[in-house]
Each structure stands twice: as structure tokens, then as C-alpha cells.
Amino acid sequence: MAARNTVEVWRRPSWRRCGRQQEHDATAQRADRPTRAPGPDEGHSTTRRRRCCGLTATAALTLLQASLNQAAWAAPWKDCSFNDRPIPCRDSHIADGSVRIVWQDGPAMTYRLIRAGFPVVILRDSLGGTWERKILPQGNAVFVNRANGNRIVVPLR
């Protein structure tokens, strides 16, 4: 009985497609048959290419949706007032007790906690002014600067 001549065809794994190692089994073929590895458009690699394209398209759609919804991540504008003049604002509370108010017309101010208390808290703004913040029963906050008479009202919602 004659020994069969076998040639092992092995293709190096590709690390480029979708970040996955593509495995190609070494196959033994008879010497009289043509020995070549399947090309990139043949066999199972087309299925993997479709899977990679699907993952790429999904990632692109996810990024697009996130960028479109970025405006929804910001807090909505509230109906605030400065000296009884309505100006929309956004307020954010920091863990150390500070409050930041961003006005729709551009300016922003951070109020740092000086003395904690309830319902009145003493805060100092970025310019050095001292403010008293009083929380009303319905949750609205009223900031009053006794030195200059300025008054800010920030509703709960």
C-alpha cells in the first residue's frame, strides 16, 4: 500500500477584521489536487465580513443617536427670575453644598457654601458677594443678597 502524499494548507490568522482572530483549520489535501487557501471573498470569510459590517453599522448608529440625544442629557431650562425679571436658568448642586446657576442669556455663577443650615444657607458667589438661600415649603429656592438687594428665584422644576 502506497503512502499518500499530503500537504497541509494553513493560513495565518488575520487580526485585522473586527479585532477578532480568524481561525483557519489546517486541512490535509491530496497532492494531486490543487492546494490553495480560500480567498477573502470565498467561503466563510464573507459571513464574517457581513458580521463585521453589521457591528460597524450598529456602532455608528449608536454614536449618532448619542450625539443627537446629547441635548436631552442637559437639564431643561427652568423659569427663574433675577430681581423679578424672568430669565430661564439651569441649576446644579455640587456634593460640597455649592450651587451653580447658568442663565440662558450667557452668564453663570457658582455659589460656595459658607454656613449650612435649614431652611436658610449662607453662600458666597464667585465675585465675593454673600447670599442667603432659603428653601420654601414647595421646594423653590430664593437667593437674597442683603448688601445690594438682588434676589434670585429658582423653582424646583
pLDDT digits 0-9 by tens, 89-98: 999 999 999 9
Rounded average pLDDT over 137-157:
94
Angle at 89 between CA 84 and CA 95, to 5 degrees: 115
Rounded average pLDDT over 5-34:
50
Rounded average pLDDT over 69-86:
80
Q: Using the predicted structure, report yes or no on whether residue 15 has a pLDDT greater than 50.
A: no
Per the model's pLDDT, the better-predicted residue between 73 and 114 turns out to be 114
Domains of the chain: 6-71 (no CATH), 78-154 (3.30.700.30)
Tell whether pTM > 0.75: no
Measure the CA–CA gap between 100 and 132, rounded to whole angstroms: 14
Element containing residue 123 per DSSP (H, E): strand 120-124
Measure the CA–CA gap between 78 and 108, rounded to whole angstroms: 14
CA-nearest of 98, 108, 102 to 133 is 98
Phi, psi of 80 (to 5 degrees): -85, 175
Share of the chain above pLDDT 90, in %: 47
Q: What does the pLDDT read at residue 119?
A: 86
Burial class (CB in 10 A: 0-12, 13-18, 19+), 20: middle
